[in-house]
Amino acid sequence: MLLKNKLLVAGLLATVGLGGHKHLLGDDPGASRQVPARPIMVLGHAGSGFFTPINPFNPLPPSSLAGLQRALARGADGIEIDVRLSRDSVPFVYHDPTLNSMSTGEGCVSQYTAAELEKLAYRGGMIYDLFHDEHLMRLQTVLDQLPSGAQAPAIHVDLHEDEVCAAPRSPSRSPVLARALARLLRTYSIPPDRLLVLSGRPATLRQLRTLLPQVPLGLEITQNFDAGLQRAIREKMQAVVVSKDVITPERSTQAQAAGLQVVVFGGRSAKAVARLVRCHPDAIEVDNVPELLTQLGRPVEQE
């Protein structure tokens, strides 16, 4: 019955056009794509992106194992993974501030032990949940499922340090998260050039530089680009990780001229992806891996 339901829903989506879209560059459907001279690394943003009903239809939860594996199966060079800290200080893979938004749990990741979190299932809604049976996972469990050594994909670890369930004036758990992440990453043979740890908090990145001196670090910039860039230069970061709403070609060039790698995150529609490509970043954590691969003239692998 489950398979029959999946096929029925997939057929309905295809009938109403939710499984595909036109490939656009800017506003001109007939414009040819301009592949930049500098290769752009393609990473799946939270794996295969977020729950979306259209362009493309994606029923897989962000940063779930299935979502991460799908991005790699389609031909992405790597993945971006969202990490939070459990109550017992275990790095856990989960994107949203609260569990209520897309799981069977309530409250925050920080209120549960790792063993309790592993029992929680992802929930996106009736249609989405016909296509997956995903549960929350430790970062260690996810890394164990990925190729290692020379075959390791590029991995961007995005530290989510907001604590919406914490009591006022509670001490930050960011130092604990940094130490737990460092202990875990030391046990894996991930080449440094395929790893990036990013955060919006310079204090966390300074701590990680001491704990993991060989690992590249990136400062996330979601609002004031100029202030963020100056801070990244001052803190001797290796990269800036910039929101799709903030990046421009000029800003990308400015950061690269300062010796920083430019990573952009976001972009799902053909038009949005084309705009990011025109910014010539070093990497794009994209919500639509097949679209970006197509615009870069690269093959999209069949799953």
Share above pLDDT 70 across residues of the chain, in percent, rounded to a whole number: 87
The whole-number average pLDDT for the span 108-124 is: 98
Does 22 score more than 50 pLDDT? no
| Identity at 79, one-letter amino acid code | I
The whole-number average pLDDT for the span 186-193 is: 92
Does 8 score more than 60 pLDDT? no
The whole-number average pLDDT for the span 126-155 is: 94
More confident residue, 108 or 23: 108
Does 172 score more than 70 pLDDT? yes
| Identity at 236, one-letter amino acid code | K
Instruction: State pLDDT tens for residues 178-188.
Output: 999 999 999 99
Instruction: State pLDDT tens for residues 196-208.
Output: 999 999 999 999 9
DSSP secondary structure letter of residue 127: H
Burial class (CB in 10 A: 0-12, 13-18, 19+), 81: buried
The whole-number average pLDDT for the span 144-161 is: 92
Does 16 score more than 60 pLDDT? no
Q: What are phi and psi of 75, to 5 degrees?
A: 115, 10
The whole-number average pLDDT for the span 82-93 is: 98
Helix count and strand count (H, E) for the chain = 11, 10
The whole-number average pLDDT for the span 21-46 is: 59
| pLDDT score for 37 | 62
Lowest mean pLDDT among 5-14, 51-60, 192-201: 5-14
Phi-psi label, residue 51: left if phi above 0, alpha if psi -120 to 50, beta otherwise: beta
| pLDDT score for 103 | 98
Question: What is the number of alpha carbons within 13 Å of residue 89 lying toward its C-beta?
Answer: 13
- For every residue of the chain, DSSP letters joined together read -HHHHHHHHHHHHHHTTTT-----BTTBTTPPP---SS--EEEETTTT-S-BSSSS-B-SPTT-HHHHHHHHHTT-SEEEEEEEE-TTS-EEE--SSSSTTTBS--S-GGGS-HHHHTTPBB---HHHHTS---B-EEHHHHHHTS--GGGPPEEEEEE----TTSPTTPPP-HHHHHHHHHHHHTTS---GGGEEEEES-HHHHHHHHHH-TTS-EEEEESS-HHHHHHHHHHTT-SEEEEETTT--HHHHHHHHHTT-EEEEE---SHHHHHHHHHT--SEEEES-HHHHHHHTT-PPPP-
| pLDDT score for 246 | 98
CA dist., res. 297 & res. 216, Å (int): 28
Average pLDDT, the chain: 89
Question: What is the number of alpha carbons within 13 Å of residue 83 lying toward its C-beta?
Answer: 30
CA dist., res. 143 & res. 138, Å (int): 9
Does 100 score more than 80 pLDDT? yes
The whole-number average pLDDT for the span 265-270 is: 98
Confidence of residue 35 (pLDDT cuts 50, 70, 90): very low
Instruction: State pLDDT tens for residues 220-235.
Output: 999 999 999 999 999 9
